[in-house]
């Protein structure tokens, strides 16, 4: 699959979001304040200030659905494998 420049950036963004999701879902979200702050910056949320002792609400299915819809199942599988290797 040949990706144009915009598609490459979109895929990288979605992959990063999936990697963050996997990391934050594994433990107490407040243990990763830098990841939460960066995610807040990317997503326009306020998670970092509200994380204390709360379980992170995974967005994995939503993010994977975006990847599958915009690219395809083969690309989604590559992103899943990358996320698994990095978390």
For 15-71, the pLDDT digits (tens) are 999 998 888 888 777 788 888 888 888 877 776 666 555 667 788 999 999 999 999
For the segment 8-15, the average pLDDT, to the nearest whole number, is 96
HEC assignment per residue over 20-86: HHHHHHHCCHHHCHHHHHHHHHHHCCCHHHHCCCCCCCCCHHHHHHHHHHHCCHHHHHHHHHHHHHH
Query: Which one is predicted more confidently, 11 or 24?
Result: 11
Query: Which one is predicted more confidently, 30 or 85?
Result: 85
Provide the domain limits for residue 39.
5-86
Q: Collapsing DSSP states into helix, strand and coil, what is residue 19? A: helix
Put simply, whether the predicted model's pTM sits higher than 0.85 gets the answer no
In the chain, the number of structural domains is 1
């Amino acid at each position: 699959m040949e990706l144009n420049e915009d598609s490459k950036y979109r895929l990288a963004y979605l992959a990063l979001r999936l990697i963050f999701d996997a990391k934050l879902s594994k433990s107490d979200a407040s243990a990763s304040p830098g990841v939460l702050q960066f995610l807040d910056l990317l997503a326009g949320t306020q998670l970092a200030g509200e994380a204390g002792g709360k379980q992170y609400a995974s967005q994995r299915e939503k993010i994977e659905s975006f990847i599958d819809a915009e690219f395809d199942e083969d690309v989604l599988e590559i992103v899943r494998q990358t996320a698994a290797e990095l978390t």
